[in-house]
Chain A
Amino acid sequence: MNMIPNAAKAFIPADYKSAVKPVWCPGCGDHSVLISFQRALAELALPPEQVAIISGIGCSSRIPAYTNCYGFHGVHGRSLALASGLKVARPDLTVLVASGDGDGFSIGGNHFLHACRRNIDLTYVVMDNRIYGMTKGQPSPTTEPDWDTAIAPGGTGLSPFHPLVIALASGANFIARGFSGDIGGCAKLIVDAVRTPGFSFVQILSPCVTFRDDQQKSWKNLVHAAIVPETDDPSRAARRLMTDDGFNTGVLYRGHRKPYQPIPLAHSAPSHLESEFAI
């Protein structure tokens, strides 16, 4: 489990803010998710230098630059690969991963499956707006099949990817959904996710005001707290997630799998590694 130090100092969300100004569109849900990250870290009282935020490519993946924690804005779809390596090498760090539905479920889909399976102690937050926003509005894996645009006339006709179901089937230890408009609620989910050992997956519905405003403005009226309490029973969670309306929020599954952490090698000093490469 991540180390949660006692609060020797009172942190406020602004303690995690960098000098870089977000370039997201005004009204974008990702602004709220950034605040949720900062609030969660303040609640956890984690010094910024003990936290790393890793991302891939896309609007949501800009988050590391907007915090003063350690960060890595990585390659498209590879945020989980980077984060897994970091956490295995530096288990003392709290590692959060930020992604979007394009980065995380399309090009990064395979990494998603195996990150769930490995169950390394990471918190994976995916800001899902059902579109590739940064590249001007192409359908993503979670886009509705009948969403009609110039690039997909009549819609893609493809069944959307169900990330929570996939996460459960692949072995994620914590599965939750939030809505960006509920800043405190998302902060609480992130806190819960960090405090739960193993791979924690948090899907945050985060509307795209530029390319999908007409459809996603209504999300704030559609989201609702899950009416049944969280479960640690995978079969119960599976039934629940398979019949989910996509707008249930809260912790939907919390298991008890032990996180993966390799046993440190006896000779892991840089000089020893160097010697292995000697010709």
Chain B
Amino acid sequence: MTDSLQSNEPPKLNSVGEFFAQALAIEVEATERYSLLADQMEVHNNKEIAAIFRKMALIEAEHRNEIARRAGDALVAGRPASFSWTGPDGPEAIDCESVHYLMTPRRALTLARFNEERAVKYFEAIAAAAINPQIATFAAEMAADERNHVIWVDQWLDQLAPDEAGWDDDPDPPVHSE
């Protein structure tokens, strides 16, 4: 069975099939996580951030579909069948605890950038450690994809003004029952 998601060190992958199962699971998870965060922001009426997370989910979904296409028969019915879901989060999944209902676009994109960069390092590490040359090639491709995502997020961040102090001040905060 393929190692579960590991954000700190690359898994030991024995076959191209295991590599694609791992890569696909990371993108599946990232898509779902961004969708969840977009849902949270919509529910709490922070529509600007919801739109950012929704767009990130779309990008991850496209990447997920592209990986499934590249993987071809290396997956079982287009799914990471041999994958274990009980490991740590993948490198592209934002921590649920790191979001705030008043968060700004800069904070949202900074979180996204952190995860995209982590994904670059993750796939670079797989490419560097791979004995199988096919895995090394595919992992290098994935790292390049993720690097493009970092550049794209950076371009978006460049268009934003710095956050003002007190961005999380709520004029009508939740109050304890008295």
Name A residues whose Cβ lies closer than 8 Å to a Cβ of B: 7, 9-10, 12-14, 17, 21-29, 31-32, 35, 39-40, 42-43, 135-138, 149-151, 180-185, 187-188, 191, 207, 209-211, 220
Contacts and interface: CB of A to CB of B under 8 A. Distances in A.
Nearest to A30: B96
Interface residues of B, number: 40
Contacts of B155: none
Given A28-B96, A31-B36, A180-B96, 10 more contacts: A12-B79, A13-B32, A21-B43, A27-B98, A42-B85, A184-B85, A184-B87, A184-B88, A207-B97, A211-B174
Given A10-B80, A182-B88, A137 B177 contact: yes
Contacts of B178: 150-151
Decide if the interface of chain A is mainly helix, strand, loop or mixed.
loop
B42 A21 contact: yes
B120 interface: no
A22 B5 contact: no
Name, among B29, B99, B176, the residue most crowded by chain A CB atoms within 10 Å (CB to CB). B176
B152 interface: no
Interface string B75-102: 0110111011111110000011111110
B43 A137 contact: no
A31 B40 contact: yes
Nearest to A206: B97
Q: Which 5 A-B residue pairings sit nearest by Cβ, starting from the closest? A: A10-B81, A188-B86, A136-B177, A39-B85, A10-B79
Interface of B: 4-5, 25, 28-29, 32-33, 36-37, 39-44, 76-77, 79-81, 83-89, 95-101, 103, 174-178
B76 A27 contact: no
Contacts of A137: 176-177
B100 A187 contact: no
A150 B97 contact: no
B97 A32 contact: yes
Given A31-B40, A138-B177, A211-B176, A181 B85 contact: no
A35 B98 CA distance: 15
